[in-house]
């Protein structure tokens, strides 16, 4: 993957073996900076536009190889699609296609021309255009095979731009930080469950936090027992792997700043437990910790940009297995809040561990807001597909803020209804709650059970069961398997919380 992104002075010579020229479909010719750089490539990019065989549709690419002195160089023209539609996700998608078009060339370095005139034509602010372009290009060069396959060779990206340094500010550095963290989330989520155990996940979280100066403590089973997290312990009880509970603190001592608790589902493998899943897609359940991974990476990213917010990250890490000591359908569990839950299916384990974690977040931190992120339900995939996450919550303002964050991040969400009718559906008969309320509205009742444990604390829920995993129809900057969805969404959300503080 690309691990170095730098800005190159617009006046200098471009020496990379590939130079990428993004153009809107309305463009008839190159903007000034691009045209000057293209002269060094015999005007190859200009010729592509002039030929009118190139329509500039989003992700349409044309690679032209030309002689440059005694070597070869490649002009890569990539379509951004029509201006009016160029939002963060589409810009990143187009640049991901540009990176993909370079795979067969096996180059190690590329240059990306970001003409201010072109960036200004997009409906998003220039800063977001540049960010999305870099993100799309860099993330498309991630290696989803964990080093086992033929890997994309690109390692360095130079940004050639006439955008003034003061506008560019920390954009390039932050895009680079974000991409590194998203790549690590993808790697964790793609790592098979025999390697990514709860202990290992907690350890990776601890290491990431240490690198980004985020305080982090990992609770052992004994610590979890002391906190009386009966639901976490029950889900963990069928596995030989001990549970862990990751507690990350960023800025927590800065008492005047708003406090957000991010809670992520960290199920390292979800066999379904005694209510075992069919085998066909069970292997994908190694990715059932994607929410927890996104939470920790988002805190690291927020810390790297020194966002003025307080953030606590809580990730219960467990493996859901049908061992001899496993919890069973019919069991009644006592959560850390003292409230009880009847288990109707051991496969609705995410809401159980999140109930304990959300209850702990509420009572221990008294935060301004709790956000939980989870690969929670198959139902959300049926309802919204794999490109849009389910969103719900008890605070309209925060739900709206999450929608704005999603637009900025290019990570789409869609709100699902949540009111007392749904909370009533998860009330128990022999317990306070039950963990399954039938197939009807299952993403909403799943969320509602978690939300019930936030009690009066404002709470937002993201169901990323569809978006955490790319089966092949994702945008071009997503590699196969884990997507890293949610990291940028949470970072943009925390930015909004910081803006409104
Ligand atoms: N981890 C799954 C949800 C899931 C499904 C994630 C598909 C990613 C892709 C969750 O724990 C689960 O098993 N949900 C069940 C709950 C049901 C039994 C109430 C579901 O939604 O089918
Ligand atoms: Zn699960
Ligand atoms: Mn499950």
Report the distance separating Cα 218 and Cα 44, nearest Å: 56
Task: Report the nearest atom of ligand 1 relative to the CA of 345.
Answer: 18
Per-residue confidence (pLDDT) for residue 12, from 0 to 100? 81
Whose structure tokens read 């160089």?
A: 73
Report the distance separating Cα 442 and Cα 181, nearest Å: 31
Per-residue confidence (pLDDT) for residue 13, from 0 to 100? 86
- Residue whose CA is at the smallest distance from ligand 1 atom 21: 377
pLDDT category of residue 70 using cuts at 50, 70 and 90:
confident
Per-residue confidence (pLDDT) for residue 458, from 0 to 100? 98
- Model confidence pLDDT, tens digit, residues 318-351: 999 999 999 999 999 999 999 999 999 999 999 9
496 burial via Cβ count (<10 Å: 0-12, 13-18, 19+): middle
Determine the distance separating the centroid of ligand 1 and the alpha carbon of 271, expressed in angstroms.
Answer: 10
Strand partners, 260: 311, 369
Minimum-distance ligand to the CA of 440?
1
Strands 433-434 and 266-270: unpaired
pLDDT category of residue 149 using cuts at 50, 70 and 90:
confident
Determine the distance separating the centroid of ligand 1 and the alpha carbon of 390, expressed in angstroms.
Answer: 14
- Model confidence pLDDT, tens digit, residues 430-456: 999 999 999 999 999 999 999 999 999
The DSSP call for residue 341 is E
Three-class SS state of 79? strand
Helical packing angle, 126-139 and 171-190, nearest 10°: 40
- Put simply, whether the predicted model's pTM sits higher than 0.95 gets the answer yes
In terms of DSSP H, where are the helices of 107-164?
116-121, 126-139
Which positions are catalytic?
277, 351
Tell me which residues have their CB within 5 A of the ion that is ligand 2. 267, 270, 288, 350
**Higher-confidence residue: 189 or 167?**
189
- Model confidence pLDDT, tens digit, residues 225-259: 999 999 999 999 999 999 999 999 999 999 999 99
- Residue whose CA is at the smallest distance from ligand 1 atom 16: 348
Residue 293 to residues 184, 187, 414, 447, Cα–Cα distance (Å): 9, 10, 22, 19
Three-class SS state of 150? coil
Whose structure tokens read 């030989």?
A: 240
Count other C-beta atoms under 10 Å from residue 498's C-beta. Answer: 17
Quick check: CB of 356 below 6 Å from ligand 1?
A: no
Quick check: CB of 270 below 6 Å from ligand 1?
A: yes
List of residues 6+ apart from 368 with CB closer than 8 A: 258, 259, 260, 458
Whose structure tokens read 């290696």?
A: 143
The DSSP call for residue 216 is E
Which domains does the chain carry?
Answer: 4-169 (3.40.220.10), 179-376+387-499 (3.40.630.10)
Average pLDDT, rounded, for the chain: 97
Per-residue confidence (pLDDT) for residue 242, from 0 to 100? 98
């Amino acid at each position: 993957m690309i691990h170095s992104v730098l800005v190159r002075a617009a006046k200098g010579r471009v020496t990379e073996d590939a130079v990428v020229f993004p153009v809107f479909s309305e463009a008839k010719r190159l903007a000034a900076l691009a045209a000057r750089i293209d002269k060094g490539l015999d005007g190859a990019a200009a010729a592509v536009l002039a030929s009118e065989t190139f329509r500039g549709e989003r992700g349409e690419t044309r690679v032209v190889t030309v002689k440059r002195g005694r070597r070869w160089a490649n002009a890569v023209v990539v379509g951004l699609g029509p201006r009016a539609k160029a939002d963060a996700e589409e810009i990143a998608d187009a640049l991901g296609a540009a990176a993909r078009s370079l795979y067969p060339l096996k180059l190690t370095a590329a240059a990306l021309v970001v003409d201010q005139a072109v960036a200004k034509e997009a409906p998003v602010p220039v800063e977001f255009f540049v960010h999305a372009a870099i993100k799309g290009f860099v993330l498309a060069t991630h290696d989803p095979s964990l080093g086992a396959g033929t890997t994309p060779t690109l390692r360095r990206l130079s940004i050639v731009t006439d955008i003034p340094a003061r506008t560019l500010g920390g954009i390039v550095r932050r895009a680079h930080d974000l991409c590194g963290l998203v790549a690590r989330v993808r790697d964790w989520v793609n790592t098979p469950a025999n390697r990514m155990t709860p202990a290992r996940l907690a350890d990776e979280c601890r290491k990431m936090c240490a690198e980004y100066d985020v305080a982090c403590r990992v609770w052992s089973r004994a610590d979890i027992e002391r906190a009386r997290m009966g639901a976490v312990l029950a889900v963990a009880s069928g596995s030989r792997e001990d549970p862990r509970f990751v507690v990350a603190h960023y800025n927590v001592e800065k008492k005047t700043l708003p406090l957000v608790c991010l809670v992520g589902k960290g199920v390292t493998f979800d066999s379904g437990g005694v209510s075992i899943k069919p085998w066909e897609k069970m292997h994908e359940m190694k990715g059932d910790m994607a929410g927890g991974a996104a939470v920790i990476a988002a805190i690291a990213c927020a810390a790297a940009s020194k966002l003025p917010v307080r953030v606590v990250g809580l990730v219960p890490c467990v493996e859901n297995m049908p061992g001899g000591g496993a919890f069973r359908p019919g069991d009644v569990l006592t959560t850390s809040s003292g409230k009880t839950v009847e288990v109707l299916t051991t496969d609705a384990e995410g809401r159980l561990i999140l109930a304990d974690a959300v209850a702990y977040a509420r009572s221990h931190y008294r935060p301004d807001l709790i956000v939980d992120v989870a690969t929670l339900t198959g139902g959300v995939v049926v309802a919204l597909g794999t490109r849009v996450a389910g969103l719900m919550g008890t605070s309209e303002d925060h739900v709206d803020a999450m929608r704005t964050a999603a637009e900025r991040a290019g990570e789409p969400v869609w709100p699902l209804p949540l009111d007392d009718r749904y909370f009533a559906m998860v009330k128990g008969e022999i317990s306070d709650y039950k963990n399954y309320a039938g197939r009807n509205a299952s993403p909403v009742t799943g969320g509602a059970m978690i939300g019930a444990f936030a009690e009066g604390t404002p709470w937002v829920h993201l169901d990323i069961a569809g978006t955490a995993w790319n089966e092949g129809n994702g945008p071009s900057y997503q590699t196969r398997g884990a997507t890293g969805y949610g990291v940028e969404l949470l970072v943009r959300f925390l930015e909004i919380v910081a803006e409104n503080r």
